[in-house]
Structure 1
Amino acid sequence: MPRKNAVRVLVVLSEYGYWGEELVGPLAAFDARGYESVFVTPTGKQPRALPPSMDPGYIDPPLGRSVTTQEVAERTRVLDESDRLTNPLNLQAWMPERPYTSDPDYLRRLERYHRAVATVAEELEQYDALLIVGGSGPLVDLANNERLHELILAFVRAEKPVAAECYGVAALAFARDWEDRRSILWGKRVTGHCKEYDYKDGTGFLGTDFVMGPPPYPLEYILRDAAGPDGAFVGNFGKETSVIVDFPFITGRSTPDSFLTGEKIVEVLEDGLRRFGW
């Protein structure tokens, strides 16, 4: 595909609810620079912000305070009610699904799968960076989404920036080449939701009545294991912000890190930043 002059960022959003600030923060940095943000969801449905992320009165249980300012709540509401997110790309229709080994004619199917993945990788040449937005929704439809894993791997192989926030970072931990099954985060510094900041109860997902206790996995432990002995999980517990750049990855711990995450993505793209926060 022909390359456009403007920087283009592919932004991945859950269909089960994203946290408002974790989208509007990076978008503020992208919009200020004139970047083009292209949105994609697992099945092409319009993403929606989680209601608590538009409520300045909502008290985050682990922190014991509001994590949403009136300004950010309003920005999120305006974006959520606009038509900017109404027609996201459909990842399911775009990226093929790896066949089961039990499928008939498995070898031919696998060959077609790899050809299709290579085609998508060529189409991704028009994008300069990838961002995975956080919230509780990614626990459901992004973390173990193999189509998203292939998307992430394509950006990594092309040596392009890959950013993720909050529970969106889990998708990086699980993205791995099928030949060695090692996480792409192996040997890297990465941040994400600390165990101390996890909910003990009340984790909810947009579009469902399902509310569970703590998240189904402690992200900190997964990231520690994914980084391995030569990498590290950098939680920065007790510090107001935590953003780590260990190229090609830019990771933001949680909501308060959203604007800084966007700023660091810009610095990676424009200033050649390769390391920050450790």
Structure 2
Amino acid sequence: MARILFVMTGADHWTLTDGTRHPTGFWAEEAVVPLTALRAAGHAVSVATPGGVVPPVDPASLAPGAAGGPEEAGRLRHTVETAPEFRRPVAIARVRVEDYDAVYVPGGHSPMEDLAADADAGALLTRALDSGMPVAVVCHGPAALLAAVRADGTNAFAGHRVAAFTNEEERQAGSAAKAPWLLQDRLAEAGLRVETGEPWAPHVVTDRTVLTGQNPASSAPLAAALAERLA
């Protein structure tokens, strides 16, 4: 049995260019699907957030149209509301990386609000990378990698090939014009090598110990890749 730490957002909004707060949170599919798959593989999951707050779910991710129908939306909602992992998070600042075997970061727009600038999250991810453990990140979750800055100012993940929510997907979702910054651009500026797949199609990139997925549809194959790495 491996111990996996989910590093999750604590923000319930995303501040847009005009200063308005767009309600959001973590994207349900990107947390629930990997949680279910990793549990089924016999692994233990814990959750850490900034300050140890309960991670808020993006209500849009629980709508039937986004979740793949009413039945799947209900299943996602049930897990979000009842899973003890989501209800009892610890503070990222209190986490000992050596207590875990892998780190996973789900997306949703909220990581762009808090994890992208969270020094504790950045330090944790840097230690995880340096220890050689798998680091798996999906969709907007790679925003957390932006905080992984070393003492010399370089990004710990610079040079790694990664997948992340693309500029084109942000445009098609209607968010690009309102976004203070675009994830694909910011990752490239930090020295990461973003490899894009077809919009909304599953796309997973593995580079050494870093496993990344492009969008919600990539959650299941990314979870499978992580479980295989831990087997």
Pairwise same-fold verdict (TM > 0.5): yes
Deviation per CA, 1:55-108, whole angstroms, max 9, x where unpaired? 113xxxxxxxx463434322220012215122100124x2xxxxxxxxxxxxxx
1:75-114 equivalent positions in 2, closer than 5 A: 75-84=75-84, 85-92=86-93, 94=94
| Number of the residue aligned with 1:45 | 53
TM-score relative to the length of structure 1: 0.72
- Kindly indicate whether the alpha-carbon contact (under 8 Å) linking 2:164 and 2:213 is maintained by their aligned counterparts in 1: yes
Shift of the alpha carbon at 1:184?
A: 2.0
Deviation per CA, 1:130-179, whole angstroms, max 9, x where unpaired? 0111001111111110010011011111111111111110221331211x
| Number of the residue aligned with 2:126 | 153
Query: Compared with structure 1, are the counterparts of its residues 72 and 227 closer, same or farther at alpha carbon in structure 2 (3 Å cutoff)?
Result: farther
2:181 matches 1:217? yes
Quote the Cα distance in structure 1 between the aligned partners of 2:228 and 2:71.
25
| Number of the residue aligned with 1:185 | 157
Query: Compared with structure 1, are the counterparts of its residues 165 and 201 closer, same or farther at alpha carbon in structure 2 (3 Å cutoff)?
Result: closer
- Kindly indicate whether the alpha-carbon contact (under 8 Å) linking 1:30 and 1:36 is maintained by their aligned counterparts in 2: yes
Quote the Cα distance in structure 2 between the aligned partners of 1:41 and 1:199.
28
Q: Percent identity?
A: 30
| Number of the residue aligned with 1:255 | 216
Gaps of 5+ in 1: 1-5, 58-65, 95-119, 204-211, 271-278
Tell me how large the CA RMSD over aligned residues is.
2.1
More helix, by proportion: 2
1:52-67 equivalent positions in 2, closer than 5 A: 52-57=60-65, 66=66
Shift of the alpha carbon at 1:248?
A: 1.5
What is the identity, as a one-letter code, of the residue corresponding to 1:157?
A: D
What is the identity, as a one-letter code, of the residue corresponding to 1:82?
A: T
TM-score relative to the length of structure 2: 0.86
Quote the Cα distance in structure 1 between the aligned partners of 2:129 and 2:165.
23
What is the identity, as a one-letter code, of the residue corresponding to 1:175?
A: A
Shift of the alpha carbon at 1:29?
A: 1.7
Query: Compared with structure 1, are the counterparts of its residues 249 and 77 closer, same or farther at alpha carbon in structure 2 (3 Å cutoff)?
Result: same
What is the identity, as a one-letter code, of the residue corresponding to 1:158?
A: S
| Number of the residue aligned with 2:195 | 234
What is the identity, as a one-letter code, of the residue corresponding to 1:250?
A: L
Number of matched residues? 217
Q: Determine which structure has more spread, i.e. the larger CA radius of gyration.
A: 1
